[in-house]
Homo-oligomer: A and B are copies of this chain.
């Protein structure tokens, strides 16, 4: 049921959609957000610009759609037996995702654009942020089951806490990788985990 009016005329080519999104990702890798142009994407996809604009309103929406799929490969969390091991593992997996050229370049660009575009902000939150937050919840549950962390009594505080931990983990990794521009290796992951678990005072 794609709407009542879609019954007449030539139907849109589904192949074109795929070709365009593929071309967008390829262009993103080769050129980065700044040099990516609609005309270039159209040419790569073997498609007229018209076709492109008929489906997406502009560069922003196109790139977000093209990139969103990448984050759908969910980061899973195998139980490694201890809180520290679980954290280290998720940090390294997240870092590996950020190392991929198409995500690296696109993530910050889309975030930058979202500061000016409410709809985009919501889209990012749904497609990327919230989706990964469950990892924090799952890790905490396991640690509590192991007795490494105390049970939370207040549900609101628990949620607030999970948000906080998520921002700390994701933020530290992103900042290290993209702003400081240094690699997130095992050594760094160990140091970070130690700090997160034990705190500044816990040395």
A residues sitting closer than 8 Å to B (CB atoms) are 31-35, 83, 101, 104-105, 107-109, 111-117, 121, 124-125, 129, 143, 148-150, 160-161, 163-168, 170-176, 178-182, 188, 191-192, 195-203
Most buried by B among A111, A166, A191: A111
Q: Measured between alpha carbons, how far is A176 from B171 in the docked complex, in Å?
A: 8
Q: Are B113 and A34 in contact, with the CB atoms below 8 A?
A: yes
Q: Measured between alpha carbons, how far is A196 from B164 in the docked complex, in Å?
A: 11
Instruction: Pick from B101, B114, B198: contact of A181, CB below 8 A.
Output: B114
Q: Measured between alpha carbons, how far is A165 from B116 in the docked complex, in Å?
A: 30
Q: Are B116 and A200 in contact, with the CB atoms below 8 A?
A: no
Dominant secondary structure at the A interface = helix
Q: Are B32 and A113 in contact, with the CB atoms below 8 A?
A: yes
Q: Are B176 and A167 in contact, with the CB atoms below 8 A?
A: yes
Q: Are A149 and B200 in contact, with the CB atoms below 8 A?
A: yes
Ordered by A's residue number, 14 sampled pairs between the chains whose C-beta atoms are within 8 Å are A104-B115, A108-B111, A111-B178, A148-B201, A160-B191, A161-B191, A164-B191, A165-B195, A171-B175, A174-B179, A196-B200, A197-B200, A199-B201, A201-B202
Would A150 and B113 be within 8 Å (CB), given that A129-B180, A179-B129 are in contact? no
Q: Measured between alpha carbons, how far is A54 from B151 in the docked complex, in Å?
A: 61
Q: Are A113 and B33 in contact, with the CB atoms below 8 A?
A: yes
Q: Measured between alpha carbons, how far is A33 from B104 in the docked complex, in Å?
A: 18
Most buried by B among A178, A192, A196: A178
Contacts of A176 in B (CB 8 A): 167, 171
Given contacts A168-B175, A196-B199, A197-B201, 7 further A-B contacts (CB under 8 A): A105-B116, A111-B178, A112-B112, A115-B178, A129-B180, A164-B191, A167-B179
